[in-house]
Chains A and B, each alone.
Chain A
Amino acid sequence: MSFQTTIPCPACQSPIAIDSMLLLSGAQFRCSNKQCTTTISIDGGSIDKAKQAFNQFEALKQQSLEQAKSA
């Protein structure tokens, strides 16, 4: 399951929309500012670390839903 987030462009501070699954697959994300040509992608060595955190985040979301239902 993927989720979307944004980070500021290191060059112009415009938001860069990022999809978690695409990020882990090595995709490049382009800055939303048309004048800025910056693209960003994850380093291969950091994929496992990010994947672990994203999975924990998904588990937390599921856990929160279950808690809300049981309450």
Chain B
Amino acid sequence: MPSDESNLTNQFTGMPIKHLLGAPLKAASEANGLLARSQLQFLLSACFEKVQGSTSLKPKMIEMHIERDIVLPDGSKSEEKASMTIAVPLLTLIPINSLSVDDIQVSFDMEIQSANEDRIQNKKNKKNGRNNKEDKSNKDDLEMYGSLAPKGHPSGESDSSRSHSANAHYEVKMHAGNLPLPTGLTTVIDLLNKNIAPIPAKNKSIEGY
């Protein structure tokens, strides 16, 4: 009775190598796309709001209190504190990062079972009735088929020794990290940060500012 492990190994028999290599990369690419879309959706819905009567967006602001000590002319600290209220963009309070899969390692041992050299261009030329010598852009497409090698048994060993180990080794290591934010977004955040600085009132006297 075949074990689950041998069934699993059989599923990877006769598979083009490009699929084994490409599948994890495609999965990582799709994951990155999903993450980017989620973050963009969050930014637009949570940190921006629509301007009435327009299609443009403006940053959501929250009000914050600032307090500072007042130093009197004699150098002593006043018991009263200077306070003011400023509007801070909500975007600057949220640690937005650009999370994505930044490293993938695919590792497996494979036994090559067959190689199919398909002269695609030659076939096309034959169909079109063109001569190979006329077209120098002939490309040979070599596709290799194989199965994951049993763990711990290099190819070349006898079948009897190989049958003891049905499980194969196929390892995919992925690492997700923070990529630098896009320049456009950093510029927007910088501009919003700079706008936090209070502007002194011209006609009002504000203590401490």
- Chain A contact residues, CB within 8 Å of chain B: 3-5, 7-8, 10-11, 13, 18, 20, 23, 28, 36-43, 45-46, 49-50, 52-54, 56-57, 60, 63-64, 67-68, 71
Some 24 contacts from A to B, beta carbons below 8 A apart, are A3-B95, A5-B95, A8-B193, A10-B86, A20-B93, A23-B93, A28-B67, A38-B67, A38-B68, A40-B67, A42-B63, A43-B62, A49-B62, A49-B90, A53-B46, A57-B46, A60-B39, A63-B38, A64-B35, A64-B38, A64-B39, A68-B31, A71-B28, A71-B30
Selected contact of A60 from candidates B42, B60, B68, B90, CB within 8 Å: B42
Q: Are B198 and A60 in contact (CB under 8 A)?
A: no
Residues 27-38 of chain B: 1 if any A CB is under 8 Å from the residue's CB, otherwise 0? 110110011001
Residues 84-102 of chain B: 1 if any A CB is under 8 Å from the residue's CB, otherwise 0? 0110101011110001010
Chain B residue total in the interface (Cβ 8 A): 36
Shortest Cβ distance from residue A47 to the other chain B in the assembled complex, whole angstroms:
8
Q: Are A7 and B196 in contact (CB under 8 A)?
A: yes
The reply to whether the CB of B65 lies closer than 8 angstroms to some CB of chain A is yes
Q: Are A71 and B27 in contact (CB under 8 A)?
A: yes
Central interface residue in B31, B62, B85, by most chain A CB within 10 Å: B62
The 9 closest A-B pairs by CB, nearest first: A46-B62, A71-B31, A43-B63, A37-B69, A53-B46, A56-B46, A5-B95, A60-B42, A46-B63
Residues on A with C-beta less than 8 A from B90 are 49-50, 53
Q: Are A43 and B95 in contact (CB under 8 A)?
A: no
Shortest Cβ distance from residue B207 to the other chain A in the assembled complex, whole angstroms:
14
The reply to whether the CB of B51 lies closer than 8 angstroms to some CB of chain A is no
Residues on B with C-beta less than 8 A from A45 are 63
Q: How far is the CA of A18 from the CA of B94 in the complex (A)?
A: 10
Residue of A nearest to B24 (CB): A71
Residues on A with C-beta less than 8 A from B198 are 10
Q: Are B31 and A41 in contact (CB under 8 A)?
A: no
